[in-house]
Amino acid sequence: MNISRRGLLAMSGATAALIASAKLQAAEKAAAATGLKEAYKDDFLIGAALSASIIKKQDPKLVALITKEFNSITPENCQKWGEIRNEDGSWKWEDSDAIINFGSKHNMHMVGHTLGWHSQIPESVFKNKDGSYISKEALAKKQQEHITTLVDRYKGKIAAWDVVNEAMGDDNKMRTSHWYNIMGDDFLVNAFNLAHETDPKAHLMYNDYNNEQEGKRNATIEMLKRLQKRNAPIHGLGMQAHVGLASDMKNFEDSIIAYSELGLRIHLTELDIDVLPSVWNLPVAEISTRFEYKPERDPYIKGLPKEIDEQLAKAYETLFKILIKHKDKVDRVTFWGVSDDASWLNGFPIPGRTNYPLLFDRNQQPKSAYFRLLDLKK
C-alpha cells in the first residue's frame, strides 16, 4: 500500500479531529453526569417551577432530570388563589399537595407561591353581593383566613414563601390593585406578619418582575423601607428575571448589591431568557398582556438557529458570572420551568409561539447554555 506524505498528513489531521470530537463528547457527558445542583452546591440552590401536570404524569425521564438537576421547586400555578380555592371559598388541595409530596419524597427545598397577588383571583373576593367593594376590615379578614390556612398546612415543609407578588406597577408606583386600593400598605404588612406568625421559621420574600431595572428598583427599595419601618418580617427579595437576549445583565449586579444593603437575601425566582424578536417595549411579565400572532413574530418554529442558541448561552453565562461573584448574597436561582416545551413563554404575550428560553430543549435535552453554566464551575 503506497500512501503519500500528503495522504498521511490528511489521515493524521482527520484522526486528531476525531480524537478532539471524542474528547469534547466525553467532557460533555461527564459534565452532564454532574448536574447543576451538584455543580453549584457551594454557591446557591438551583430550582425549577413545576406544573401540576408534570407531577401527575410522573414521566420517569423527566422526574430523573428534575431530581438530578434541581434541589429546589416552586409550584407554577396551583397555590394561587384562583387555583387553590373554589368560587365558594372552599379549598382544592390535590394539586398543591401532590407537588409538596413530590418535594418531600425527593428531599427538595420548597418555595410556596404566592400568598398575595392581584392576578388569578376572582373579582368576588373583593366585592359584596351588590357589586360594591368590600370594606378594608372584611378584606383583611379574608386575607387572614387565606394566609394562615395555606401556610399552616405546609408548616415545616415549605421553607420559603413568595408572600406578596408584583405590588409595584410598571409606572414605578404602587400597583392600583384591589388589594392596594382597599387596604393600602396594610395589604403587604399584614401578609408578612400573618405568614410569620403562622410559620416563624419560614423565609419570607417580596417577589416582582423588572425590579432589577433602575427605576423599578428604586421604587421597590422605597416601598421596602416603608414596610421595614413598620417592622414587617421581610427576609428576602425575589427578582423574577424574565429577561431577553438584549437585556443588560449588569442591572442584576447593581440590584443584588442595592437590595442586600436592606438586609435582604437575594433570589432569582422565575428565570428565563426570551429568544424571540420583540416588537414592543418588553420584557414585561404582567400576565394580562397580549399581542396579536404574526408569523414574523414566531421565526423559529423549525428549531433554534445556531447563532441564536449561542446568544442564549452567552446571556446565561454573563448572568451567572454575576451571580457567582455575589454568591454570598444570593440564596437561590430558580428557572420558570424545566424545558422549552412547557415554558409559559410559548403562549405569552403572544399565544401559539415557539420559544426556547430554558436550559433544556423541547425533548428535555441540555442546550449549549446548560454546558456553559457547568463550564463556569470547572
Cite the active site residues. 166, 270
Give, in order, the Cα–Cα distances in Å from 176 to each of 34, 182, 361: 46, 9, 38
The closest alpha carbon to 345, from 247, 278, 295, belongs to 278
Instruction: Please identify which residue in the block is written with the cell numbers 454532574.
Output: 34
Residue pair 316/29 in contact (Cβ under 8 Å)? The answer is no
What own/partner pairs with CB < 8 Å and gap ≥ 24 does 199-202 have?
A: 199/151, 199/152, 199/155, 199/156, 199/158, 201/156, 202/151, 202/155, 202/158, 202/159, 202/160, 202/161
Which residues are CB-neighbours of 136 under 8 A, at least 6 positions away?
Answer: 182, 183, 186
Residue 99 CA to residue 74 CA, distance in Å, equals 9
Sign of CA dihedral 68, 357, 119, 166: positive
Instruction: List the grid coordinates of 16.
Output: 486528531
CB atoms within 10 A of CB 54: 23
Give Cα 304 to chain centroid, integer Å: 22
Radius of gyration of the chain (CA): 23
Residues forming beta bridges with residue 168, ordered by sequence position: 174
Residue pair 272/335 in contact (Cβ under 8 Å)? The answer is yes
